[in-house]
Amino acid sequence: MARRPVIAGNWKMHNLQADAIALTNGLMAELKAEDKAALPEVVIAPTFTALYAANKALTDCGCGKVKLAAQNCYFETKGAFTGECSVEMLKDAGCEYIIIGHSERREYFGETDEMVNKKAKAILANGLIPIICCGESLEQREAGVTDYHIASQITKALIGLTAEEVAKSIIAYEPIWAIGTGKTCDSIEANRVIAMIRNTVKGLYDANTADAIRILYGGSVKPETIKEQMAQSDIDGALVGGASLKADSFAQIVKGAM
């Protein structure tokens, strides 16, 4: 089955509203000449306070080439959860995707596999697409437990989801030691881990589900690395941090995935 590539930009805690508008408009200008049908699924994930501004810029453009994501959500629908945003609220703000389980959220904000699972369920129940992040630390890699750790993160993230829900979901394999460090994981190795994730999904579900789910690589993806990454059998796109903060470098990555 041909899987449509996905290039998602995680803006992290960057960009005021005016910056978000400028970056969104800049990206759309860079993609203006491209045929929409030939583009990968292009997603940007601004911080909560810039979602409105970015969504307005996307809607005003009306080209439909770029979709909106949030960087986090809470799994409860509403109530006394100060500081949190429900999936319904993020959908209302224009989001179609939500990133969950990013290593920075796991490390600094105590996000557990159980929370990732509850968030995935809430996202899918609202008709949005979860981008489920997983990845090993350098210590885990050096200790030889990468595959065990990643398979465990994915197995726990998917508990209770139907095959249909999993087929729609996106996983991002992001080795922690490659995030924001400039050190990209070797493409052959990234592809090996991603194929292992696909095989884990096959074991939990079936071959069709494993074939359908998109699995991205993330970790210092740059315009110079994307072609080699996309040439691998199992890498379906990229989750991009630093290089998504400039319209030209993100657009080059998008074009490198066409």
Angle between helices 146-157 and 113-125 (to 10 degrees): 40
Cα 111 to chain centroid distance, Å, stands at 16
Residue 114 φ/ψ, nearest 5 degrees: -65, -40
Per DSSP, what are the bridge partners of residue 99?
131
Of the residues 28, 241, 247, 255, which one makes contact with ligand PEP according to CB under 6 A: 241
Q: Is 180 in the site for ligand PEP (CB under 6 A)?
A: yes
Q: Which of 30, 102, 111, 136 is catalytic?
A: 102
Binding footprint of ligand PEP, residue count (CB under 6 A): 13
CB distance 215 to 173 below 8 Å = yes
Q: Is 218 in the site for ligand PEP (CB under 6 A)?
A: yes
Q: Is 242 in the site for ligand PEP (CB under 6 A)?
A: yes
- Read off the amino acid at residue 24: T
Q: Are strands 237-240 and 129-134 parallel, antiparallel or unpaired?
A: unpaired
CB distance 144 to 187 below 8 Å = no
Task: For ligand PEP, give the closer residue by CB, 219 or 223.
Answer: 219
Per DSSP, what are the bridge partners of residue 98?
70, 130
Task: For ligand PEP, give the closer residue by CB, 226 or 239.
Answer: 239
Q: Is 221 in the site for ligand PEP (CB under 6 A)?
A: yes
Q: Has 149 been annotated as catalytic?
A: no
Of the residues 5, 7, 10, 213, which one makes contact with ligand PEP according to CB under 6 A: 10
Q: Is 71 in the site for ligand PEP (CB under 6 A)?
A: no
Residues at the site binding ligand PEP, with contacts judged by CB under 6 A: 10, 174, 179-180, 218-221, 239-243
Which residues belong to the active site? 102, 174
